[in-house]
Amino acid sequence: MTEQFEMFEKLYRAVYPPEIMPMFWKENGELSSAVFKDKNGLSVERAGGRDENVVIAAMRLFFYGAIFSISAGDCTSCEAVLKYLPTKRSMFHSEIHGSKDRKMLSQSQCKYLAKRATMCLQ
């Protein structure tokens, strides 16, 4: 798989439900920007040419909660950096970094991505 991301390629993130991680959810049920904060780089699963149902089924084997998607273009629009970093668990694992020199996304990047995120499965 290429290290390049197509602008419309989807990136998926599992999010614990509010009863487990209330900080990930706003009172109105919308996603909080806290979902996109990780000092080690934000882990996501890239679609990698797979159908969305296949991606979700694979994520369900390891993750619990709702699954949201954003596009690679959403990340580049807020100047976040995408890194293809496969793991033993998943050849589709990737990370979103705040910049080339900083792994953690800025508050404005987190807010932008939270607004752009689309729920795929609750």
* pTM (2 d.p.): 0.94
DSSP 105: P
Query: Which residue type is seen at 41?
Result: G
Q: Which of 4, 2, 7, 3 is nearest to 72 (CA)?
A: 7
What does R_g of the chain's alpha carbons equal in angstroms?
13
Cα–Cα separations (whole angstroms), residue 69 to 18, 21, 90, 100, 113: 18, 18, 17, 22, 10
pLDDT tens digits in sequence order for the chain, 122 residues long:
889 999 999 999 999 999 999 999 999 999 999 999 999 999 999 999 999 999 999 999 999 899 999 999 999 999 999 999 999 999 999 999 999 999 999 999 999 999 999 999 76
Identify any residues that bridge with 97 across adjacent strands, giving them in sequence order: 81
Residue 122's pLDDT is: 67
Q: Which of 20, 116, 33 is nearest to 64 (CA)?
A: 20
